[in-house]
Amino acid sequence: MKRAVKVTVNGKAYAHEVEPRLLLVHYIRDMLGLTGTHVGCDTSNCGACTILINGRAVKSCTLLAVQAEGASIQTVEGLATDGKLHPIQEGFWEEHGLQCGFCTPGMMLTAVDLLQRNPDPTEEQIRMGIEGNLCRCTGYQHIVNSIQHAARKMRGAAGRATPR
Amino acid sequence: MAVSKLFGAKIKRREDPRLITGRATYTDDMQISGLAYAEIVRSPHAHARIKRIDVEAARRQPGVVAVFTGKDLQGVINPIPTAWLIPNADLKTPPHPALAVDTVRYVGDGVAVVVAEDRYAARDAAAQVRVDYEILPAVVDQQQAMAAGAPLLHADVPNNQAFKWALGNGEATAAAFKEAARDGVVIAQRFLNQRLIPNAMETRSVVARYNSGSGDLTVWYTTQNPHIARFLMSVVTGLPEHKIRIVAPEVGGGFGSKIPFYADEAIVVFCARKTGRPVKWTEDRRENYLTTIHGRDHITDLEVAARRDGTITALRGKTWANLGAYLSTAGPGIPTILHGLMLTGCYTIPNLDYVVYGVFTNTTPVDAYRGAGRPEATYLIERIVDLVAAKLTLDPADVRRKNFIPPDKFPYTSAEGLAYDSGNYGPALDKALAAVDYRRLREEQKRGPRNGKLLGIGLSTYVEICGLGPSSVVGSTGFQGGLWESAVVRLHPTAKATVFTGTSPHGQGEETTFAQVVADELGLPIDDIEVVHGDTAAVPMGWGTYGSRTTVVGGAAIVLAARRVREKAAKIAAHLLEAAEKDIVFDQGRFYVRGSPDKAKTIQEVTLQAYLAWNLPPGVEPALEASAFYDPTNFTFPFGSHVAVVEVDAETGQVALKRYVAIDDCGRVINPLIVDGQVHGGLVQGIAQALYEGAAYGRDGQLITGTMADYAVPKAHMFPTFETGRTETPSPHNPLGVKGVGETGTIASTPAVVNAVADALRSYGITTHLDMPLTPERAWNAIHGQRREVKAR
Ligand code: FES
Ligand code: FES
């Protein structure tokens, strides 16, 4: 019944035998123990489970673990490198982009994807760009500021925008 | 108190590093060895008799550890109690079994529980539990539930009436109405305050572990108030309170929905005891919609009496509050104490006659949702003030000013009997109107619609009750607890500080604001201070986080404890400096004799001496820590003025919120960044009630808006950039001068937006009453029902 799945998560290779019906988000949380990726709904609406798969933001509750075979995955735990926060993390911290923090990992990864595609988004583009991610605490305004902060920083840094 | 450098500073939050790196532990993140998973089998019917439950097939499923039904819990798990026994209201408290035994009363009522090796196995097995139901007629509307012949939910609760609560002076109010009918105006309107679903992003979750050897129960779970949970867990399970430890790990938002003690935590504890395994249960979102409390759901008939100059003389009304199928923990108190007592708002309205019926229906229980009763009150008064202005063709800002409680009348005793601590309402309104350039907007509005867009300006001048609360007063309202707060400030030998608070923040940032306060009081670097909360084994008794009380009451306890620490340190410093205590000055972490600041002992040196205890003054005990239990003398009453500017598209009925200005007065501000965040979050929830959100039930009691795909949790692009500002009127009785800000945005914004839409329509000659949410369909029907041509300009 079980099927093999091999993935790279935050640069580390994993191989497991999993039930074909296992959701990717449960694989990441329960089998890999990476609980920074959250589950907020069962209808693909909230975005709390957002991760990067091959660099693009994906809701990990909408995929089966077996569908991620061979993928390179990044979760919130892999955002900071060598103990240094990613600009999006700095942005959320500086601009008070989080309250309870539950939506934050997904929100940040969506923002990373957004900034990759559009390094200098307008406020409107940011608000539209995060429409797949719900936050019940912040009223979004400080999230917008956080993403703008990160955008400035990443444009300034002009180097590698996203760790892969 | 001395103004220092951290009080008032925009400091980034100290809780954030763990949250932005994915290193925080929410309840569902917990892993402990031997963990089993529970799945609760829930009724698909709103009202039914349980004829038979067959769990044999479920028991045979792979990975199943145990299956239990309501009968197994009988006599072991006591009924789930309500904790707000409002007096003089003939309150009925029918039993609420944790798992239903004979009758299910709402869709989602638990009937059985399966414990299995993992989440998937538990769910598979739960699907195999066979329940034979005899479906009974259901009722979801509170007025219909009180009508003759309506299905009855509970034996011994005639007409499904849980209580009838009355307030005010009927005779004087009737006289005021008589006078207004003769010489002034009387306006009557029915208002619906629709049911909302809180939608904290983290659903509820429980992990319970019972040690049969020691008799210790540990429960990690999503609660806003671990000590209340411990107390109620003891009542419900019969386990002694000192053997119960409740931990609220990281909690992903609550908004009131994680205050109640739910049946689910008792069920999970039962499972852990029976199976000898630690058990985890995590709600999925569908379950959250069905079983986590809902908010609001009032039907109100309100009348207002006013003189021709706009002076409001009386309010009279009746509200039918839908309580759902059972009384939730604070259920009866929300539509009465926290609602009725704030009805006259920030106005000198002398007469009031108000009745609230609490009603059982076959729906999810209703309890505190952000604002909890106060948004409903503010909605009524702020809407009806606008109706008075419209009827008398007066400017709504002028009518408000005319009725404001004047600044020299504070402390002010309202018609409801509350003593508002301080207020100065005019300046906040002036500031808000100036921010939008009110006069220019009114002129623009007079020029008529532009491109088919109707301009509307809506005001909301609110006051709310926060800082819950003086224990003797809340006790007199039937609340089964005190609402004081505890703090311990403990300095370690190296002068690092651990601060314990009985509050339980879950996003509000008090790990930062409290550290700011302590840093100032003790002259310590903020990084040397840790704030601990949410664990009954670590923290003395406390009452938790809700009702905008955390900084107000919990912060006050902390400042008192810190001052006690400082006083003791000053005694030791005086001894070390060979001076009299009265000559000791404390400044920025240094103790010295007045006049000789260069010969000082630092707080670090003094703390070390306190622990070494080699040379303490006579009668002074070693160590340096202090506790405080602060019971406020009064509530606090934050206030403010909000202005919403909308455009209603006459062709489509679409409402666009163009600008939103919030001028709030929450007393002194400890951290402006955090206060802004609280205001923004509150605004979105309040505006969403006005425009987007609303729970809907089918007649059969099925929740139609039962998923995030059906219920409009608002998104980022639905809002403009909020313009926030403040006035500052400190609370005179609070040691920090603070008033609380967690709920202001939600309380104020709903009527501001609805008033703006009504104003837009009125400018166009349409006076149809609209109920929330103001969807394009509703606005369109109002406009096109009256068949107006939209003139181009
Ligand atoms: S958990 Fe909500 S979108 Fe994935
Ligand atoms: S910070 Fe709580 S849901 Fe976004």
Residue ranges of B 672-701 with Cβ closer than 8 A to chain A: 673-674, 676-677, 679-685
CATH for B32-136+204-253+258-282 is 3.90.1170.50
**B202 and A40 in contact by Cβ < 8 A?**
yes
Tokens of A53: 């798969």
HSE-CB at B128 with a 13 A cutoff on CA atoms is 18
Contact B389, B307 (CB under 8 A): no
Tell me the Cα Rg of chain A. Answer: 15
* pLDDT value of residue B777: 96
> Which residues from B are below 8 Å from A100, CB to CB?
200-202, 250-253, 506-507
**Stretches in chain B below the pLDDT threshold 70:** 1-4, 786-793
Number of H helices, E strands in chain A: 5, 5
The tokens of B328 are what? 């939730």
Helices B555-576 and B510-522: angle between axes, nearest 10 degrees? 30
Residue spans in chain A of domains classed CATH 3.10.20.30: 3-78
The CATH code of domain B295-468+634-785 reads 3.30.365.10
A92: which chain B residues are within 8 Å (Cβ-Cβ)?
16, 20
Give the CA distances from residue B655 to residues B556, B757, B763, in Å, rounded to whole numbers and listed in that order.
43, 7, 15
d(CA B382, CA B391): 14
B199–chain A nearest CA distance, Å: 7
Q: Among candidates B607, B427, B433, B620, which has minimal Cα distance to B522?
A: B607
To 10 degrees, the CA torsion angle through B704, B709, B713, B716? -160
**pLDDT value at position B1?**
40
Chain B residues in contact with A143 by the CB 8 A cut-off are: 716
| Contacts with A52 (C-beta within 8 Å, 6 or more apart), sequence order | A58, A73, A74, A75, A109, A112, A113, A162
Cβ(A48)–Cβ(A106) under 8 Å? yes
Q: How far is CA B156 from CA B82, B146, B333, in A?
A: 17, 14, 21
How far apart CA B454 and CA B445 sit, in angstroms, is: 8
Q: What is the spatial distance between Cα B354 and Cα B221, in angstroms, rounded to a whole number?
A: 39
Q: Which of B684, B692, B759 is nearest to B724 (CA)?
A: B684
Which residue's C-alpha comes closest to atom 4 of ligand 2?
Answer: A135
Which of B294, B715, B539, B24 is CA-nearest to residue A100? B24
Please name the member of A46, A89, A100 whose beta carbon is closest to the beta carbon of B21: A89
Ligand lying closest to the C-alpha of residue B198: 2
CA distance B165 to B498: 45
Among A104, A133, A140, name the best residue to mutate to test ligand 2's pocket (greatest count of ligand atoms within 8 A of Cβ).
A104
Which of B20, B199, B220 to substitute to test the interface with A, most A CBs within 10 Å? B20
CA distance B471 to B557: 14
CB atoms within 10 A of CB B639: 29
Q: What is the dihedral of CA B300, B305, B311, B313, to 10 degrees?
A: -90
With 0-12 / 13-18 / 19 or more C-beta atoms within 10 angstroms meaning exposed / middle / buried, residue B437 is exposed
Asked if the C-beta of A7 comes within 8 angstroms of chain B's C-beta atoms, the answer is: no
**pLDDT, tens only, B180-197:** 999 999 999 999 999 999
Residue B139 is predicted with a pLDDT of: 98
So what's the architecture of A3-78 in CATH?
Answer: Roll (3.10)
Tell me, what's the pLDDT at A1?
84
CATH of span A87-157? 1.10.150.120
pTM of the model: 0.96
Which chain B residues are Cβ-neighbours of A102 within 8 angstroms? 26, 200-202, 252-253
Instruction: Tell me the three-class secondary structure of B342-389, residue by residue.
Output: CCCCCECCCEEEEEEEEEECCCCCECCCCCCCHHHHHHHHHHHHHHHH
Ligand 2: centre distance to CA B667 (Å):
25
Residue with tokens 């999810």: B364
Task: Look up the CATH number of domain B16-22+484-630.
Answer: 3.30.365.10
Residue closest to B462 by CA, chosen among B192, B758, B674, B665: B665
**Cβ-contact B660, B770 below 8 angstroms:** no
Contact B140, B46 (CB under 8 A): yes
**Kind of pairing, strands B723-726 and B655-665?**
parallel
Counting DSSP H helices and E strands in chain B, the numbers are 21, 28
Strand pairing of B216-221 and B244-247? parallel
Do the domains B295-468+634-785 and B32-136+204-253+258-282 match in fold? no
* pLDDT 10s digits, B649-675: 999 999 999 999 999 999 999 999 999
How far apart (Å, rounded) are the C-alpha atoms in residues B153 and B91?
15
Between the CA of B531 and the centroid of ligand 2 the distance, in Å, is: 21
Query: Phi and psi at residue B186, in whole multiples of 5°?
Result: -125, 130
Query: Rounded to whole angstroms, how far apart are CA atoms B149 and B91?
Result: 21
Distances (CA, A) of A101 to A38, B252, B435: 10, 7, 32
Q: What are phi and psi of B779, to 5 degrees?
A: -65, -40
Whether B123 and chain A come into contact, CB under 8 Å, resolves to no
What is the length of chain A?
A: 164
CB contact under 8 A, A93 and B17: yes
Three-state secondary structure call for residue B611: helix
Looking at residue B528, its pLDDT comes to 98
- Helix (H), strand (E) at residue A56: strand A56-59
Task: Please name the helix (run of DSSP H) or strand (run of DSSP E) that holds residue B676, with its range, or none.
Answer: helix B672-691
Q: How many residues does chain B have?
A: 793
Cα separation, B384 vs B376, in Å, equals 12
Segment 628-647 of chain B within 8 Å of chain A by CB: none
Burial degree of B149 (CB within 10 A; 0-12, 13-18, 19+): exposed
ipTM: 0.96
Helix (H, G, I), strand (E, B) or coil at B626: strand
As given in the structure block, the two tokens for residue B588 are 């920025």
Q: Where do we find the tokens 């019971």?
A: B631
Determine which of B12, B14, B19, B288 to mutate to test the interface with A (most A C-beta atoms within 10 Å): B19
CA dist B118 → A60, B37, B219, B285 (Å)? 19, 5, 19, 18
Please identify which residue in the block is written with the tokens 């009557």: B188
Distances (CA, A) of B586 to B67, B181, B207: 64, 65, 47
pLDDT of the residue at B785? 85
pLDDT above 70 coverage of chain B, percent: 98
How far is the alpha carbon of A135 from chain B, nearest alpha carbon, in Å?
Answer: 7
In B247-265, which positions are buried (b, 16+ CB within 10 angstroms) versus exposed (e)?
Answer: bbbbbbbbbbbbbbbbbbb
Domain with CATH 1.10.150.120 in chain A: 87-157
Which pLDDT score is estimated for A161?
Answer: 45
DSSP for residue B57: H
Spell out the SS3 assignment of B256-297.
CCCCCCCHHHHHHHHHHHHHCCCEEEECCHHHHHHHCCEEEE
At CA B157, angle to CA B155 and CA B161, rounded to 5?
A: 150
Taking the domains of chain B in order of start, what are their residue ranges?
16-22+484-630, 32-136+204-253+258-282, 295-468+634-785
The token duo for B306 is 């006013």
Q: What is the pLDDT of residue B791?
A: 56
Q: Where are the alpha helices (DSSP H) in chain A?
A: 24-26, 87-94, 104-117, 123-129, 141-157
Contact A123/B at CB under 8 A: yes
Residue A112's closest CA among A141, A70, A78? Answer: A78
* Residue found by looking up tokens 């139609």 in the block: B704
